[in-house]
């Protein structure tokens, strides 16, 4: 524990007690010697004017506050070293998820934390080298569009966009009432009420060009309705979960699949041979099929028949690519 952390911990101990704290207790709580405790108390008195007083009659230290005075607080914003490193790691994650999005605010914040950490172990440079964030098939969203979307989302305003759909390769003009931003599988999506289609839709942020904020208030949809529409089915596809996939995983992959979270309402059953039977609600099968294919022969679709046939046909087509 360094000098600043010790002062921070000393403040926590004194401010949490209504009676004077014995020096022996401070030594045990701070895990240091008598001389170190005395030095920490002197540092707090000299540098941050902490009103620490020793009560000889009760053999302890306490904050000496005038009648009716507010509890003593450390000046400014204080964190211990562990909390500062946690903040730097969080900043690292934010920068990796959406590069450039919050640089104007995060960079000065990081610099201030670096100054607070000066002389303590290490700082952001070491965190940047030691914390790896691996993204797979990420599609970066335009930073300016992202800022406009978040502004409209928080201020509850409508937006006008040009949306290019991949499936039909068509561009359409839309007016949307933003409901939620979703970060899913390394990509950003917007759950919104589409005023053109008069229904809830999910839009990939990288397909929205450009984005304009309207003065009209956004249409508000209840949390219950949003959850029922967007989270009851499987993956990013919205709509009701009309089917339940029954899957059988071989013992070779059970140890991995058993720890995976596929759906909030999934049901698992371990079989005597070490295999796993998994039941997953779904609506649109496309994403579920892609997730099943990565397990190859280690998973069998038991039902429903339409899903079993779709997975089998996809495997046959894939095998046909290598028939020659």
Tell me the backbone φ, ψ of residue 166, rounded to 5 degrees: -70, -40
CATH number listed for the domain at residues 143-230: 2.30.30
Check whether 137 has a pLDDT greater than 80: no
Q: Which of 163, 139, 83, 145 is nearest to 116 (CA)?
A: 83
- Compute φ and ψ for 105, nearest 5 degrees: -100, -35
- Residue range 237-277, pLDDT digits in tens: 878 889 999 999 999 999 999 989 999 899 999 999 999 99
- What whole-number percentage of the chain has pLDDT above 90? 40
Segment 152-160 mean pLDDT = 92
Domain 243-320 has CATH 3.30.70: yes
Per CATH, the number for 3-63 is: 1.10.10.10
pTM: 0.64
**Whether the predicted pLDDT of 77 surpasses 60:** no
Segment 218-232, tens digit of pLDDT: 999 999 999 888 888
Q: Is the distance from CB of 65 to CB of 71 less than 8 angstroms? A: yes
Beta bridge partners of 151: none
Q: What is the mean predicted confidence (pLDDT) over 176-202?
A: 92
CB 195 within 8 A of CB 174: yes
DSSP state of 87: H
pLDDT for the residue 105 = 59
* Cα maximum dimension of the chain: 94
């Amino acid at each position: 524990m360094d000098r600043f952390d010790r002062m921070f911990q000393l403040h926590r101990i004194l401010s949490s007690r209504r009676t004077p704290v014995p020096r022996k207790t401070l030594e045990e709580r701070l895990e240091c010697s008598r001389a170190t405790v005395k030095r920490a108390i002197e540092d707090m008195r000299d540098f941050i004017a902490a009103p620490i007083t020793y009560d000889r009659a009760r053999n302890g230290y306490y904050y000496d506050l005038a009648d009716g005075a507010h509890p003593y607080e450390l000046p400014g914003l204080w964190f211990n070293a562990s909390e500062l490193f946690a903040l730097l790691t969080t900043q690292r994650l934010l920068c990796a998820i959406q590069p450039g999005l919050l640089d104007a605010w995060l960079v000065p914040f990081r610099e201030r934390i670096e100054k607070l950490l000066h002389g303590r172990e290490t700082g952001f440079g070491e965190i940047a080298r030691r914390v790896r964030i691996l993204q797979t098939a990420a599609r970066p969203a335009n930073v300016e569009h992202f800022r406009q979307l978040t502004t409209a989302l928080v201020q509850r305003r409508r937006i006008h966009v040009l949306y290019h759909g991949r499936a039909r390769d068509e561009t359409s003009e839309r007016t949307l009432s933003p409901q939620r931003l979703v970060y899913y599988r390394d990509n950003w999506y917007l759950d919104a009420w589409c005023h053109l289609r008069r229904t809830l839709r999910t839009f990939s942020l990288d397909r929205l060009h450009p984005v304009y904020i309207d003065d009209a208030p956004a249409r508000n949809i209840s949390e219950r309705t949003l959850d029922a529409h967007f989270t009851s089915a499987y993956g990013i596809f919205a709509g009701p979960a009309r089917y339940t996939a029954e899957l059988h995983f071989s013992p070779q992959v059970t140890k991995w699949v058993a720890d995976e979270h596929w759906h909030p309402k999934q049901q698992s059953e371990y079989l005597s041979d070490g295999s796993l039977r998994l039941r997953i609600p779904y609506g649109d099968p496309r994403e579920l099929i892609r997730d099943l294919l990565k397990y190859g022969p280690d998973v069998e679709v038991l039902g429903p028949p339409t899903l079993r046939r779709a997975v089998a046909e996809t495997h046959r087509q894939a095998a046909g690519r290598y028939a020659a």
